[in-house]
Amino acid sequence: MDAMNGHDAPVQTIGLFGVGTGERQGAAGRIRHRRGRARRLAEMIRIANRFDIIYGLTPVTMRRLFEALGPTFVKVGQILSMRSEILPEAFCRELSKLRADADPIPYSVVTSTLAAEYGRPLDRIFSSIDPVPLGSASLAQVHRARLVSGEDVAVKVQRPGIQETMAQDIDILRSMVKWASRFVRSTQVIDIRGVVEELWETFQSEVDFQQEAANLAEFKDFCDSYAYIDCPKPYPELCTRHVVVMEYIDGISLSRPAQLVAQGYDLKEIGTKLVDNYATQIMDRGFFHADPHPGNIIIRDGSIVLIDLGMVGRLDEVTKSALKDMIFAVGREDSPALAQGLLRFAGTGEARAEDYPYLLADLDAVVQRFGKLDLADLDIAEYVNAVMRLAARHGIKVPGSVTMVARCLVTLEGLLDEFLPEANIVQIITDHVAYSQSTGSILKEEARKLGIQGDLALHGLLGALAESQTATKMLTRGQLRANVQLVGSEEPLQQLSDMVNRLTMALIVVGLYVGSSIVYFARVKPVVFGIPVVSMLGYVVAFILSVWIVLDILIKHRALKRRRRNGEA
């Protein structure tokens, strides 16, 4: 107990988790910040050189590189693993194996950190703390402990300095992407910028442990409605921005299926209940545990306990409704419904008129590829990646909440394939959605949709009335102008313009021939070689214009055939 009492440990709240806001102000703080950034950049370059990235990266080398670069790049790799429009599929599969494991924090650092956070001796809070950690990740470390009141708890302590390190890395990544965008004008740079911004949002939510405590309390309330699902109970009075104290869960990890079978558990039943509850979290509640890897799922006394609520996802009503519509659209092989679901997914009302046919054509290919498969044969990771690539190709920006759902489902599918092979995720989710479509739930869902659409329609109507009032005022003052563009009609109009020009030139040619013939028979002087000069000039000009018309028709016809051939190719 002497090691954890903390009587002699000084209480230092500034500098323990990075440079404070006040210290960053002033020239000295800015110089230190620049020097730290330069040192980190030099370290990143040394690590990159160690992996010989100049000579090319293999999927395994990239994964090892991200692991060596630290927790920020582990998160980048986890995000990139679901962005197959940026990286090839082989790289995405390898990056999905990234785990944020790290070397343990020394026990003395853990106790001094706790003493600094609480500002009082630890023996007034804990009767004991196990010096051997339960787990050590890049962001935090977990120890088993016992409160003075007798409860067994798990204490999650954030690594000192991790906030400053990750914020610095993200700042460097932002600068690198900004610099690259000056030289590479492509959607790839824009997508990578989106990855960095998604990383920043994830970082902000994960480093605030008070938010994790709030997530635990909210998810615990959700679990109270189910006998087979649970999560640790938090102790809010002991939770800070850098420490989470929660109930200790003693059970069998899902990563040990043989031990579960030996204890009499049915793996298929576990998998079915787990996925069905995830369908409830995503489709019905819109609040879900977003990191379902085996280490975060523990079986205790017949219940599935989900731990580590640092990463959660939230969906609004529109997104949940779009998810359900897309599931049934694939099953019905209904491309227009899938298109509308995807557009609602992305928060877009409708596609551009000229792009919509191409979107439908691409969705037809997706439906034909996946819609005819049995649910047991459907690879959800491949399906999700295909839809993501299609969305990126058509400029549909999919929000972070949707990509989080996709990552969650792919992680779940990999978990089932490895540990619970008899359970099928797509079949379970489809059955859940179909079962939930009872008469009462349908009426409730339709009422909700009607309410959402009514709200959108009302706001649209009010906006239209406001715009019409402005337009009316401009009309009465003679200030209204109309700019009309016939979308998709540029080529037909150009062809019509060419036809009119050729017809005009043909009439001129005919007029020259007729006029020259009249002058010829009238023998208007002067005459050269028996032909009036005016008539000769008329014939020459008419001949030149005739040749020009024929050549113009041939050249433009060949150009049109070339464009059509390139379009088909």
Amino acid found at 367:
V
In 468-564, beta strands by DSSP E: 527-528, 531-532
Phi-psi region of 153 (alpha: psi -120 to 50; beta: other; left: phi over 0): beta
Using CA atoms, how far apart are residues 556 and 499, in angstroms rounded to an integer? 12
- Which residues, 6 or more positions from 421, have their beta carbon under 8 angstroms from its beta carbon? none
Q: What pLDDT, on the 0 to 100 scale, is given for residue 277? A: 93
Predicted pLDDT of residue 300: 95
State how far the Cα of 40 lies from the Cα of 38, in Å rounded to an integer. Answer: 5
pLDDT in tens, 446-477: 555 555 555 555 566 566 655 566 556 555 55
Q: Residues with Cβ < 8 Å from 382, sequence gap 6 or more?
A: none
Q: Is the peptide bond before 336 cis (omega within 30 degrees of 0)?
A: no
The secondary structure of 217-229 as a DSSP string is HHHHHHHTT-SSE
- Under DSSP, is residue 8 helix (H, G, I), strand (E, B) or coil? coil
Q: What is the DSSP letter of 283?
A: I
CB 76 within 8 A of CB 68: no
Domain 103-158+208-248 classified CATH 2.60.40? Answer: no
Amino acid letter, 532: P
Give the residue from 386, 383, 219 showing the smallest Cα distance to 310. Answer: 219
- What integer pLDDT is reported at residue 476 of this predicted model? 59
**How much is the pLDDT for 217?**
96
Query: 10-residue block means of pLDDT along the chain (569 residues)?
Result: 40 38 58 82 88 80 89 82 74 80 88 94 95 89 96 95 86 84 57 75 82 95 93 96 95 92 92 91 91 90 92 86 75 74 60 64 80 66 75 75 82 82 76 64 53 58 60 56 52 70 80 78 72 80 84 80 63
Report the alpha-carbon angle 444-447-448, nearest 5: 85
pLDDT score recorded for residue 186: 53
Q: Which residues does residue 142 pair with via DSSP β-bridges, in sequence order?
A: 135, 156
281: DSSP letter: I
Distance (Å, rounded) from C-alpha 448 to C-alpha 454?
10
The string of pLDDT tens digits covering residues 189-215 is: 456 777 787 778 777 778 889 999 999
Q: Token pair of 32, please? A: 């230190």
Burial class (CB in 10 A: 0-12, 13-18, 19+), 523: exposed
Structure tokens at 515: 């006029």
- Indicate the helix (H) or strand (E) that contains 291: none
* pLDDT at 17 (0 to 100): 39
pTM: 0.66
pLDDT value of residue 93? 80
Amino acid present at 354: E
The per-residue pLDDT for 15 is: 38
At 85 the pLDDT is 64
